[in-house]
Amino acid sequence: MAEIDDAPVLQVRGLKTHFFTDQGRVPAVDGIDLEIAQGRTLGLVGESGCGKSVTGLSIMRLIARPGKIVAGEVLLRGENLLKLPEREMRVRRGGEIGMIFQEPMTSLDPLFPISDPIVEALRAHRRVTSREALKQATALLADVGIPDPERRIRSYPHELSGGMRQRVMIAVALSCRPAVLIADEPTTALDVTVQAQILALQRELQREHGTAILLITHNLGLVAENCDTVAVMYAGKVVERAPKRSLFRGPRHPYTQGLLRAVPRLDHPPKQPLVTIPGIVPNPLRLPAGCRFRARCPWAIGKCAEEEPPLMAVGEAHASACWVQPEFAAAPPTVAGAKGAAA
Amino acid sequence: MADLVRVENLVKHFPIGGGLLGGPAGVVKAVDGISFTVRKGETLGLVGESGSGKSTTGRLLLRLIEPTSGKALFGDSELFGLGRSEMGGLRRKMQIVFQDPYGSLNPRMSVSNILREGLEPRRLSRLEQEAEISRLLDTVGLRSAHRNRYPHEFSGGQRQRIGIARALAVQPEFLIADEPVSALDVSIQAQVLNLLLDLQQTLGLTMLFIAHDLAVVRHMSDRIAVMYLGKIVELAPSERIYADPRHPYTRTLLAAIPRPDPDAAPARPPAESGSAEAGGCVFRARCSFAQAVCSQPPPLREIAPGQHSACHFAESLPDYAAGDQ
């Protein structure tokens, strides 16, 4: 088992990634700070369009036009990746930071057997012969739980199930023992029983190699199960950051509180109305002044419209960007029913 | 409660191509002999993973696809025997809401025209139509002022509301909701689920709620049918499915769901599937309780009041403590 060193392997500071569209500038990621220590998992949660996937791609420097990283630093063991020439970045990518995506079929080339991407990754980052790379690739497939790896390594992507393809992607991402793994909705396209297998595998490999993982997901169950710390994003900002337990037991941002209340639970009585977050996310081209969540927030006060709340410490390693910082147990002031609020 | 829908031994086999001379090489048993009823005013949940046959079942009931065999009664009408025009009449009493509202709404039609189509069979006057469109939009929580907008001008959650309004326009008795919230974000999902619960109460709708997410299905349903590879393996009141599941697959499914609770045990992955032998219990290859007798197909039978399980060992499975996996 790998030693856990609490110094962060990956630090993101003041990251801003904006998209310069024909309609105007979209601040998809708008000044966020994150850090992950060796062997730890940071969950990045939020709903579609909040900027969580763009954050992952920014760390990998995979932002294409019209997107651009306009400010900030991405520090890998203290080295700013955003300052590296592309040639050097290519060595880090795959070698020191691996990434897996939601849909393994689109990230595997259907024309090549699955051995191909693994061998390619190994040869790009390690000085090994093709024969040695193939041997290592076979061993990797065995590591990620693919039965009969000697035969399977010659399979093409379409011959494998979704779960098996995602295992191959994990094998590719982990082939060079990266210090950091970015997993962007790695199991969203999979059945729940297969998801459980993939995440158990990911946790096991993390324990073995001490990988720092950024788990990007919309699923709060996966966060509770897999993460040590959590950052919640809303409209391009991190609105709350906390150790997992504090976040689930005592969330202090009204958006986090709303998300936790809105999820149907297996242990709640059926057919009871859920507490909802009224309304929808703001148009990123016309973000409101002040707090970006205020139009949907039952706690909003005058100050929320005037000044954007920064992340403020509310507990041990726990920060929330809210002027009110309500306690989770407190009932929110009543707002107009969710039904009318959607239009 | 009277049954509105009664399904008996429904079968749908899809041929797989690639056989000799382009003929079928075999069949996929998408739905393989299922029976259930939906009582008037209740929601029956249909839950399962990909390939379980849950969506096929919904489509069969609407006759969007034709069954291989089996019977389905809607009230007193035998669905599969009906001719085109009779089925057309019945279809007004049954509506479906799909997962992707964008794919199922005509992008070239304004919201009011989409709804007007649904109102046609009711032969309302122009004025009555306009009033009804306003009322429908209000029912699903959309502004009447937005009636002349087009689907792409709405968010995903709003589009799903339009899909629901269109289904309601024909005043159906029976609504099939096929993964109605799986494309939506958590906060929007809760809004749409509340809307469906609300509509069911106010309109007395009977619902078949199909989804892969057991927490969502349980939240919406009075009773739940758990499907696996074309079979119903367990059918029970929602509370029972969670408190005392009596089929090993239901337990596997429950154990695999990660709970939004930092103190819950991590989800437990199921056993790797062994080689699938033909015949017998469909879950046998992955089942830790399987024995020789499981090569005989277990019928779905009532093992406690209202609780049905298709497992030879339903009564003798170890006690189940909910949440404690």
User: What pLDDT, in 10s, does the model give residues B196-211?
Assistant: 999 999 999 999 999 9
- Who among A196, A272, A275 is closest to B269 (CB)? A196
Residue B154 inside a domain? The answer is: no
Residue B129 inside a domain? The answer is: no
Q: Are strands B301-304 and B307-309 parallel, antiparallel or unpaired?
A: antiparallel
The answer for B 18-37 residues in CB contact with A (under 8 A) is: none
- Who among A196, A249, A277 is closest to B268 (CB)? A196
Q: For residues A151 and A122, what is the distance between their CA atoms, to the nearest angstrom? A: 20
Q: Which of B293, B320, B288, B310 lies closest to B228, judged by CA?
A: B310
A211: how many CB neighbours lie within 10 A of its CB? 24
Residue B302 inside a domain? The answer is: yes
Residue B153 inside a domain? The answer is: no
B212 touches chain A (CB under 8 A): yes
User: Which residue pairs from B59-64 have beta carbons closer than 8 angstroms and sit at least 24 positions apart in sequence?
Assistant: B60/B10, B60/B12, B60/B31, B61/B5, B61/B7, B61/B94, B61/B176, B61/B208, B62/B91, B62/B94, B62/B96, B62/B176, B63/B87, B63/B91, B64/B96
**A270–B187 CB contact, under 8 Å:** no
**A270 vs B contacts (CB less than 8 Å):** 218-222, 238-239
Per-residue pLDDT, A334: 65
**B266 vs A contacts (CB less than 8 Å):** 199-200, 203, 225-226
The model's confidence at residue B102, banded by pLDDT at 50, 70 and 90, is low
**A278 vs B contacts (CB less than 8 Å):** 191
What is the pTM assigned to this prediction?
Answer: 0.90
Per-residue pLDDT, A244: 96
**A276–B185 CB contact, under 8 Å:** no
Percent of chain B with pLDDT over 90: 63
**A48 vs B contacts (CB less than 8 Å):** 156, 185
Give the minimum alpha-carbon distance from A132 to chain B in angstroms, rounded to a whole number. Answer: 30
DSSP letter assigned to residue B226: E
Q: For residues A276 and A39, what is the distance between their CA atoms, to the nearest angstrom? A: 35
**A259–B187 CB contact, under 8 Å:** yes
The model's confidence at residue B22, banded by pLDDT at 50, 70 and 90, is low
Give, in degrees to the nearest 5, the angle at Cα B140 between A233 and B198: 90
Q: Residue B279: helix, strand or coil by DSSP? A: coil
**A340 vs B contacts (CB less than 8 Å):** 141
Boundaries of domain holding B34: 3-109+168-258+268-316
Residue in the structure block whose two tokens are 């390693």: A317
Provide the edge-to-edge strand list for the sheet that holds A312-315. Answer: A97-100, A180-184, A212-217, A41-45, A229-234, A237-243, A318-320, A312-315
Number of separate domains in chain B: 1
| pLDDT at B325 exceeding the cut of 60 | no
**A192–B212 CB contact, under 8 Å:** yes
Residue B238 inside a domain? The answer is: yes
**B216–A264 CB contact, under 8 Å:** yes
User: ipTM of this predicted complex?
Assistant: 0.86
Per-residue pLDDT, A337: 43
Cα-Cα-Cα-Cα dihedral sign, residues B301, B306, B309, B315: negative
CATH of the domain at B82: 3.40.50.300
| pLDDT at A107 exceeding the cut of 80 | no
DSSP letter assigned to residue B19: S
Residue B324 inside a domain? The answer is: no
**A224 vs B contacts (CB less than 8 Å):** 258-262, 264
CA distances from A26 to A66, A237, A283, A295 (A): 10, 13, 9, 19
| pLDDT at B103 exceeding the cut of 90 | no
Tens digit of each residue's pLDDT (9 = 90 or more) over B117-175? 989 888 899 999 999 999 999 888 888 888 999 998 888 888 899 999 999 999 999 99
Per-residue pLDDT, A4: 54
Tens digit of each residue's pLDDT (9 = 90 or more) over A172-194? 888 888 999 999 998 888 889 88
**B260–A221 CB contact, under 8 Å:** yes
Q: Which residue of B has its CA nearest to A47?
A: B185
Tens digit of each residue's pLDDT (9 = 90 or more) over A155-164? 998 888 888 8
The answer to whether A63 and A54 are in contact (CB under 8 A) is: yes
B146 touches chain A (CB under 8 A): yes
Residue B325 inside a domain? The answer is: no
Residue B137 inside a domain? The answer is: no
Inter-chain contacts counted by CB atoms under 8 A, chains A and B: 167
- Who among B187, B193, B216 is closest to A277 (CB)? B187
User: Which residue type is seen at B144?
Assistant: S
The answer to whether B9 and B34 are in contact (CB under 8 A) is: yes
Q: Which residue of A has its CA nearest to B153?
A: A343
A198: alpha, beta or left? (left if phi > 0; alpha if psi -120 to 50): alpha
